[in-house]
Structure 1
Amino acid sequence: MRKTSARAPHAAGGERVLILSAGVGAGHNSAAAAVQQECAGRADIAEVQVLDVLEVSSPLYRALLGKGYFVLVEGLPWLVEWGYDMSDPPFRRRGPIDPWTRANAVPVINAIKRFRPTAIVCTHFLPAQLLAALLLRGVTHAKTAVVTTDYDFQGLWLPGAFHSLFVAREEARVELMALGLPPDRVAATGIPIAKHLDVVPSRDPNEPPMLLISAGASGSDYAVSVVRQTMHMRSAFTATIVCGRNEALRHRMEELVAPAGDRYRVLGFTEDMPQLLRQADLFVGKPGGLTASECMAAGLPMVLVNPIPGQEVRNGDYLMEQGAAVRCNTGATIGWKIDELLREPGRLQQMQAAARSVGRPGAAADVLTGLLDGPSRPLIVTRAAQKTILAESGQRVVATDLTGPSALVRLIDSAEKSTVALLQAAELDDLRKRYKTANGDLVLRRGQAHVWLGREGRRLLSALLLGDKALPVRIEE
């Protein structure tokens, strides 16, 4: 997916925004499209391009990361959960990108060089990790944002260099603060979703509740069992079943619900989902990050079925905690559970109010504003600091409790007042030997001999200075 949109002549000389995604599921690309849509409404953006990094990689790499993931979800869900937990600690891998990923990244790097972006938004962790290496190597000086697409924060999304990190909820931001990340570089904006200004809520309180059932595109027996169980419900209701592009699944559903008359409506792929979300009273399906965000923005509570282990289970936990969802752990009780929900006076209305309180329809706008109006210099997390963050995440230690050489220290740009580096206290000693001023602050200088971390230190200094000869910084221990 490569889409480029040029703006009107008055935008010439404005920002050039590159949005990098990865087609592992639809959510990451949907978030990218939402940010692109928001770019169209800003006069300060001259051109925007969206690139799915898997589409320009090798077929084998694309198949293993894209299709391979869903093969595991269907056949070995326990392995997916194990992999999620194993990759959850931040900075588990602190070395350079592996050779295979580096080879497949060449087309992405070439695209960045051709487009010459002034700002880059990453809606998947693969390009986010790549951009961290490019910032340190000086390949790009574009402002870079990492935009997470699930409600819980997962460690793979934390790169060693970035300008802004946008998470889905405040608890994720608090988690990153506890690990030592500076508050001026992390914001809880929600997950970017598309705007639908022509859609108005149209729930009719005099009609029976409408269920919106997302059957998914896999065609699995689980989706059929969900619908079959709703046919045993005693409550009055209507249902719209969306099967996506899976025609075989659509035909199965049509045959299944035919005896129920006009109570059920079966759809394939539809562009009317925004309207359906606002017409429905209850959503039945999987809690993907984008799906859940769209439901919450529409004030639509969810009945969660068959979540993917890892991120979708955690999404569901959050929604249930907020009172905006219930979960069915077995297909045999889905009809009964929905029945109980609908029959309890006021329960559905309470869940709808909870969903509206969770919704963040303006997330895409907040992401763009936060990035473009944010610091011009990146935040660099040294490998030593990454080691500290990994260790404290495993021991559940809050960063402010750390003492000694491995404690974390921040360098603050004296002019912009933004945090530009996160390092270990032991590294600060080396900096002070070379760059300390009379008042105890530091002035990092280009071309001056330094001993800090060898080649990595030189890259860090280059990334922080950008085109300047010197950078006064303040120490925050």
Structure 2
Amino acid sequence: MTGPVVIFSASIGAGHDGAAAELARRLGEQGLEVLRHDFLDMLPPGVGRRIRDGYARQLNTLPQSWGWLLNAMGGPRMSAGAAGLSASLATTRMLAAIPADAAVVVSTYPLASQVLGRLRGDGRLSVPVAAVMTDPSVHPLCAAAGVDVHLAPGLATADQLRRLGVPTLAVSPIVRPEFRPVTGPAERDATRRRLGLPADERLAVVVAGSWGVGDVAATARDITATGLAVPVVVCGRNEILRRRIGRDGSAIALGWVDAMPELLRCADVVVHNAGGLSSAEAMAGGVPVISYRCLPGHGVANAAVLARAGLSPWPRSATTFAEELSRAMTATPAPQASAEPDAADLIAALAGSAPLIADPLQEAVV
């Protein structure tokens, strides 16, 4: 009997936890036991909450400082320091959270990957470790020495990791199966009525992560100014933003949305500023995606990767944004087909319950 798969994610935004939840679901369907942990809970009491709250405040009040910090952390000394500090704070609790009979350990959060890579490298962790990427761009902290394999969503991300010299396999995007194309106008209209959205308007769904951060209100105003679509802004847990947009009437303002697959099936286009899970979900549903007013740091980096891969244009001005929005409205998009293997299948292979699926562009890693 194969032991459990242990997954470490982080409750910073929704992307890391979202990938972990979908991996857990897929692995459970294969009959594997899954144990999930929040990396922030592996830190000394109160430290994880302060990190999460500080990150949220930084993005809300001085987002440019996040870009500066992320760039600084990309240097070898700062990167090594962050990895070392994480290991000193989290090692004891992480080791205690991994049962003796664990079959494989998975991380969807870079700092957790760094700690696990060190434990794997010095022999204190004897089972395979997989690091799962949740963004199209790769920060140097995502490449963890000692980790057995890094699983990258698509070839563009995999190429970045390989250049950093770590074992890598490309996988298909880790999104829930509910994110699928709309079957036709009848389903779209019925879904819009159910969600209280106008049935006879073009809709541009604006996503800004679970915290609703960035120049979201300005994006909504830019969409309205084009006259091409009605902006539907997903404000996440940012109630201040939802109330502000609702008051000025510049857009339809939604709070936290549980029915995100259905909302995306209503959309004519999705406009994002971070390029993580939400953009992957939209692409899986065959909805055109535009990167705009991107967050400093990971948002800008993700937009650059998506633009180079031809997956999401990245206009830098209101004029070029209007042009891209017009193109999106006349496009006939299709779901992004992926020939890469399923990440859950590769993790199951590492756990010893299935044969490893090799990536033809990468030498064998196990």
Residue 248 (structure 1) aligned to one of 230, 237, 240? 240
CA shift digits 1:22-80 (9 cap, x unpaired): 2222111111111111112103x1x1111001034234421443222233334444432
Determine helix, strand or coil for the equivalent of 1:162. Answer: coil
Q: 1:171: how far off?
A: 3.5
1:210 aligns with 203
Give me the whole-angstrom Cα distance separating, in 2, the residues matched to 1:156 and 1:39.
26
CA contact (8 A) 2:272 2:290 kept: yes
TM (norm. structure 1) is 0.63
Give 5+ residue unaligned stretches, structure 1: 1-12, 377-416, 421-477
Structure showing greater radius of gyration is 1
Give me the whole-angstrom Cα distance separating, in 2, the residues matched to 1:242 and 1:361.
30
1:201 paired with 2:182, answer: yes
1:229 paired with 2:222, answer: yes
AA partner of residue 368 (structure 1) = I
CA contact (8 A) 1:195 1:361 kept: no
AA partner of residue 37 (structure 1) = R
TM (norm. structure 2) is 0.80
Q: Which structure carries more strand by proportion? A: 1
2:143 aligns with 158
Determine helix, strand or coil for the equivalent of 1:187. Answer: strand
What is the RMSD computed on CA atoms of the aligned residues? 3.5
CA shift in 2, pair 1:127/1:374, >3 Å: farther
Residue 340 (structure 1) aligned to one of 313, 318, 323? 323
CA contact (8 A) 1:33 1:194 kept: no
Give me the whole-angstrom Cα distance separating, in 2, the residues matched to 1:152 and 1:292.
13
CA shift in 2, pair 1:119/1:246, >3 Å: same
Q: 1:241: how far off?
A: 2.5
Give me the whole-angstrom Cα distance separating, in 2, the residues matched to 1:419 and 1:283.
37
1:109 aligns with 95
Matches within 5 A, 1:394-433: none
Give me the whole-angstrom Cα distance separating, in 1, the residues matched to 2:268 and 2:62.
33
Residue 344 (structure 2) aligned to one of 365, 372, 389? 365
2:194 aligns with none
Give me the whole-angstrom Cα distance separating, in 2, the residues matched to 1:191 and 1:227.
28
Q: 1:18: how far off?
A: 0.5
Q: 1:147: how far off?
A: 0.7
Give 5+ residue unaligned stretches, structure 2: 190-199, 356-362
Give me the whole-angstrom Cα distance separating, in 1, the residues matched to 2:353 and 2:160.
21
1:35 aligns with 23
Residue 55 (structure 1) aligned to one of 29, 35, 41? 41
1:284 paired with 2:277, answer: no
CA contact (8 A) 2:231 2:252 kept: yes
CA contact (8 A) 1:203 1:281 kept: no
Q: 1:118: how far off?
A: 1.0
Of 29-38 and 200-209, the range deviating more from structure 2 = 200-209
1:88 paired with 2:81, answer: no
2:295 aligns with 308
Give me the whole-angstrom Cα distance separating, in 1, the residues matched to 2:85 and 2:320.
50
Aligned positions, number: 347
CA contact (8 A) 1:293 1:359 kept: no
Give me the whole-angstrom Cα distance separating, in 1, the residues matched to 2:78 and 2:56.
24
AA partner of residue 102 (structure 1) = S
